Chains A and B, each alone.
Chain A
């Protein structure tokens, strides 16, 4: 049986107090927001914070404020809260779809939005017990020097495996980071770094407090997730897409984000730019899908064959864009989630 290491547990009631504790404890402290990933990681000694700063009792992190000028989502909203909240339909559908496809109902009842956005990157050689990792002399990401996936790589290639981040990036979300000395708001895209070890541009003393969304009523969005089983698996490829249409059907604005194909969610900027001013004809979709798929560089450290994951990326982008166009993609979605379609 794997046991948790010893740690100090702090449970402040205000964000201010939380920021003060985090500042005082230094980099050995980690915020705890759900813990569905962090606590198992601690049992395997992948992450060994000396202090856990629980955010659960911080009341203000549990709220959704929505108005005509947009929405503000507290980092401690659970994924179940988000999946079931009717406010996250229509424009923000991608977020609800992403949240509802994370893990299992039990985990979604505990796991939080902030936790999923800051989810540790994953790798076959990292998400293992301490003894197993020790047997291979550890890896670069924790306690070792070699990357077992790409031994000549100077940096860690662990995979960004968050579902909500690609969705929220496609929705143009920003995040508010609060620390002892103040706060800053950055775009969610800026939060991520394409390095499996330093995958967040979050300073150790910063707390991801909330997610800020502009009004989305004239947007359509969607999220597609590839995994072995529709019931319960991390993504090994995902596509989030959002678009705003002019009355004639041409696209005024678009964002496409590819998840789980690098150490950060990848913005398919060229594909999105290509779409602006065009209608979603089959030719446009094919061209945009090819452009978007070009940036995906999956490596051999997740389930499924890496070259196959690369090959099907364009098809997943196609599903997403066809859905935004208004096609009925029920059977494609049912097949991908392995829900029997009689």
Chain B
């Protein structure tokens, strides 16, 4: 989140220096699908350019950017975000997520999974995936989630990983059950299993849909044929081609992309800032439940605006005679403010859908990515409105007034840290990018995956060759 703020504000500054529209600059440098990035992250579907084009169109960017009256401005920013961390939060070789399905003779399906529903809708996603495969309704699926006594491990609701990881595990478990049921029903109907369809709570012959059984009967046939029916599924992310030290941070099966335009009004006398409207487009792969996806996108906008304009941990130093300690200035959540629903601007949300081969039914993440462009877009919009850079959050009226005073005095029209803090960095690792023939290792460090001593020089495993050539 913090690097993204710096990056997107920096891009805005670069675009201005090059006299290129910041939307066009981003369209020029946006990655395309299936690329391997300079730091060896393997991308899957990438629809960032489409997201940019959508918000440029919906917001009227071409008519607004650098053209609105003084005090009013628009800012654009983008984000890319991982769909589940490629490495487990604690080190082991086991799957990141597991699902068990139990089928009872009444046709009931029960799902067990450690995935934690925290209001984001993960239970609905798991039920939807299983229901879709088995031709059922989500109401037919009973879920026991977030209980480590009952369900297999899911690593948790973080890193935007539950839909892709628990979802793929659920998909695998449901597909396995489906083939058991199909085999038993095919035998009863005396047709090849490939001709069967699971829909409308029935399993039937696609060539003669009236010829079939209800789902409950399909379960009973399968239980008669195979014994008690229960299946499992699990998911482990693919290995990353990034082998250098630090390359474990950021790999993911696939990434989501977002573009946002924020419009602001800044009062030049008080520095008071308001946000009348936000336009946002999110590359979701496929929305399994569009209502939930929009809820997540708009929830991100609200949190992003809170971060951009309000949330801060402020400290003050006590006088020398009172310990001289740094203490919280606003020590409680009461003063750690974020917008309420009443303080929200209009949000125009668009979903860009191209099913991603890595996600269950093509779904990518939406839990965190849409938050990232909001803070830099606000900062860029403030610059468009009154010509000052606020290079830190929250962007408050007093900072805008200070920057306006600097501008008036003919100094750099900005507010923010004056310099980067001094750090004694070790020697930087040099990782040649793929187009310079790099193999994912740093050339000035020990190779991260051990190679047999008998074979000197860079070594490529078949797996890595496949990754690099895909």
Interface residues of A (CB under 8 A from B): 124, 127-129, 132, 136, 146, 148, 151-152, 228-233, 300, 303-305, 307-308, 311-312, 315, 335-336, 338, 340-342
Q: Closest residue to A334 on the B side, CB-wise?
A: B274
Q: Which residue of A151, A230, A233, A338 is within 8 Å of B318 (Cβ)?
A: A151
In the assembled complex, the CB of B340 is this many whole angstroms from the nearest CB of chain A, namely 4
Interface residues of B (CB under 8 A from A): 265, 267, 269-272, 274-277, 310, 316, 318-319, 321-322, 327, 329-332, 334-335, 337, 339-343, 345-346, 396-398, 401
Measured in the bound complex, the distance between the Cα atoms of B122 and A285 in whole Å is: 58
Picked from B316, B337, B398, B401, the residue with its CB within 8 Å of the CB of A233 is B337
- B71 CB to nearest chain A CB (Å): 10
Cα distance A322–B19 in the bound complex, in angstroms: 42
Report whether B337 and A128 are in contact in the complex, using a CB–CB cutoff of 8 Å.
Answer: no
B330: chain A residues at CB < 8 Å are 124, 303
Known: A124-B329, A132-B331, A228-B337. A315 touches B269 (CB 8 A): yes
In the A-B complex, the 4 residue pairs with the smallest Cβ-Cβ separation, listed nearest first, are A308-B398, A231-B342, A305-B398, A231-B340
Residues of B near A129 (CB, < 8 A) are 332
Q: Are B265 and A230 in contact (CB under 8 A)?
A: no
- Chain A hits for B345, CB < 8 A: 340
Q: Which residue of B lies closest to A307 (CB)?
A: B398
A153 to chain B, nearest CB (A): 12
With contacts A136-B327, A300-B316 taken as known, whether A341 is within 8 angstroms of B274 at the C-beta atoms is: yes
Cβ of B270: which chain A residues have Cβ within 8 Å of it? 311-312, 315
CB distance from B277 to the nearest CB of A (A): 7
Shortest beta-carbon distance, A232 to chain B, in Å? 6
Chain B residues near A338 (CB, 8 Å)? 274, 339, 343
Given A335-B267, A338-B343, A342-B346: A132 touches B332 (CB 8 Å cut-off): yes
Give bound CA distance, A264 to B441, whole Å: 67
Q: List 23 A-B contacts (CB under 8 A).
A: A124-B331, A124-B335, A127-B332, A127-B334, A128-B331, A151-B322, A228-B337, A229-B343, A232-B340, A300-B316, A304-B396, A304-B398, A305-B396, A308-B397, A308-B398, A308-B401, A311-B270, A335-B265, A338-B274, A340-B345, A341-B274, A342-B276, A342-B346
Contact, CB under 8 Å: A230 / B343: yes
Neighbouring B residues of A232 by C-beta, 8 Å? 340, 342
Once bound together, how far apart are the Cα atoms of A228 and B275, in whole Å?
Answer: 13
Q: Which residues of A contact B337 (CB under 8 A)?
A: 228-229, 233, 303
Task: Give the residues in chain B near A336, CB-CB below 8 Å.
Answer: 272
Residues of A within 8 A of B274 (CB): 335, 338, 340-341
Cα–Cα distance between A108 and B433 once the two chains are bound (Å): 62
Q: Looking at the assembled complex, report how far the CB atom of B378 sits from the nearest CB atom of chain A, in whole angstroms.
A: 14
Contact B276 A341 (CB under 8 A): yes
CA distance A191 to B274 in the complex (A): 37
Q: Min CB distance, A144 to chain B, in Å?
A: 12
Nearest-CB residue, chain A, relative to B270: A312
User: What residues on A are CB-neighbors of B319 within 8 Å?
Assistant: 151-152
Shortest distance between the CB of A255 and any CB in chain B (Å): 24
Q: How far is the CA of A231 from the CA of B310 in the complex (A)?
A: 14
Task: Tell me, rounded to whole Å, the shortest Cβ–Cβ distance linking A51 to chain B.
Answer: 28
Task: Using CB atoms, name the residue of chain B closest to A146.
Answer: B322
Chain B hits for A229, CB < 8 A? 310, 337, 339-340, 343
Q: Complex: how many Å from CA A129 to CA B267?
A: 37
Known contacts A124-B330, A305-B396, A312-B397, then 12 further A-B pairs from the complex at CB < 8 Å, ordered by chain A residue: A152-B319, A229-B339, A231-B343, A232-B340, A232-B342, A233-B337, A304-B397, A315-B269, A335-B265, A335-B274, A340-B274, A340-B277
- In the bound assembly, the distance between CA atoms of A229 and B274 in angstroms comes to 11
A300 neighbours in B (Cβ, 8 Å): 316, 329
Closest residue on chain B to residue A135 by CB atoms: B331
Residue of B whose beta carbon sits closest to that of A228: B337
B346 / chain A contacts, CB cutoff of 8 Å: 340, 342
Closest A residue to B328 by CB, please name it.
A124
Chain B residue, CB-CB nearest to A127: B334
Bound together, the chains give a CA A340 to CA B331 distance in angstroms of 30
Q: Which residue of B lies closest to A335 (CB)?
A: B274
Instruction: Please give, as numbers and ranges, the residues of chain A lying within 8 Å of B327 by CB-CB distance.
Output: 136
**Which residues on B sit within 8 Å (CB–CB) of A231?**
339-343
Please determine whether B332 and A230 come into contact, CB atoms closer than 8 angstroms: no
**How far is the CB of A269 from the nearest CB of chain B, in Å?**
25
A134 to B396, CA, bound (A): 32
Residue of A nearest to B269 (CB): A315
Complex CA distance for A315 and B268, rounded to whole angstroms: 11
Q: In the complex, what distance in Å separates the CA atom of A230 from the CA atom of B401?
A: 21
Q: How far is the CB of A121 from chain B (nearest CB, A)?
A: 16
**Which interface residue of B270, B335, B401 has the most chain A CB atoms within 10 A?**
B270
Rounded to whole Å, the gap between the CB of A84 and the closest CB of chain B is 18
> Complex Cα distance A146/B322, Å?
10
Most chain-B Cβ atoms within 10 A of its Cβ — which of A151, A304, A335, A342?
A: A335
Cα distance A132–B343 in the bound complex, in angstroms? 30
